Every structure is written in structure tokens, then in C-alpha cells.
Amino acid sequence: MSADTRTPEPGSLVARRLPPVAELAVASMALVITGGIYLVAHLPQRAPLGPAVGLLAAAAVLLVADAALVSRLRTFAWRVFFQVAGWVLVAYVVIGGMLEFTFVYDGTRGALLVVLTLSLLVFALDIPMLLGFSVARYQDPAQPAIEGG
């Protein structure tokens, strides 16, 4: 089997140069997950919040930068992006709500709960951004949204 070595046409969807939205979303998720692992590694003792807050702040900055990069795209399959991102957001709101309930039910309080809640928020916004962008980037902007969704 030989790989397709043809050069994409200049106007094709594959040849388009897009900002590193997926890479920034993954980096943001990695920072949030690292902060969560750091906090959980200290349980049941009290964890110093400084490193986790720093990781959360860096992840939030990457998320905002990601949103700014996506918002500047002119020729993009926006309907597909919002369709995919919207349904993924619904799923992650449910997942995040269950995790938040678990934190509160287990007695997590104060600053630790705030950091964990904000981390869940960043994570729950990263995933829809990543999946919506990953699907829409390969769609023809002139085509209608996915049928049935």
C-alpha cells in the first residue's frame, strides 16, 4: 500500500492554514488535569493551592486565547462547529454536574472546592472547543450543518 503523496490543491480544506486551536485546547486540558492530580495526590491532607491555582490560571489563559483564535476565523463551517460543540457541551455539563455533586457530597469545601469547580469549568469548555473545531475544520463552509442534529 502506498500513501497518497499528492500535494493538496491551494483552495482545498486540507491545505488551509488554521490556528493551533486543537493544540491549545489539549495543552489547556493537560494543565487542568495536572492541577487536579496534584490536588488529589495530597488527599486526605490539605493540599497547598498555589501550584493548582497557577496551573488553572494558565489553562484559563490558553482557553481564552483559543476562543479568540477561533472567533477570528472568517471562512469556517460555523454551523457545524456550533452543532458539534453544543451537543458536546450538553454532555459535559451533565458530567461536570455529577462531578461537582460528588465533590460537595464528599465534604469538599472552601477554596479547594472553588479551584476544583473552576477546573471542571475550564475542562468542560475545552472539550467542546476541541471537538467542534476538529470536526468543522474539515467541513466545507458553504455546506449546511449535519442533518439530523
Per residue in 92-142, pLDDT (tens digit) is: 999 999 999 999 998 888 999 999 999 999 999 999 999 999 999 999 888
CA dihedral 2, 7, 11, 16 (to 10 degrees): 80
pLDDT in tens, 11-65: 555 557 899 999 999 999 999 999 999 998 887 788 899 999 999 999 999 999 9
Which whole-number Å values give the CA distances from 33 to 30, 94, 124, in the listed order? Answer: 5, 18, 12
Q: Is the per-residue pLDDT at 6 higher than 70?
A: no
Q: Kindly report whether the global pTM for this prediction surpasses the value 0.75.
A: yes
Omega cis (within 30) before 44: yes
Q: In angstroms, how far is CA 38 from the centroid of its own chain? A: 20
Q: What confidence score (pLDDT) does residue 93 get? A: 96
pLDDT in tens, 66-90: 999 999 998 999 999 999 999 999 9
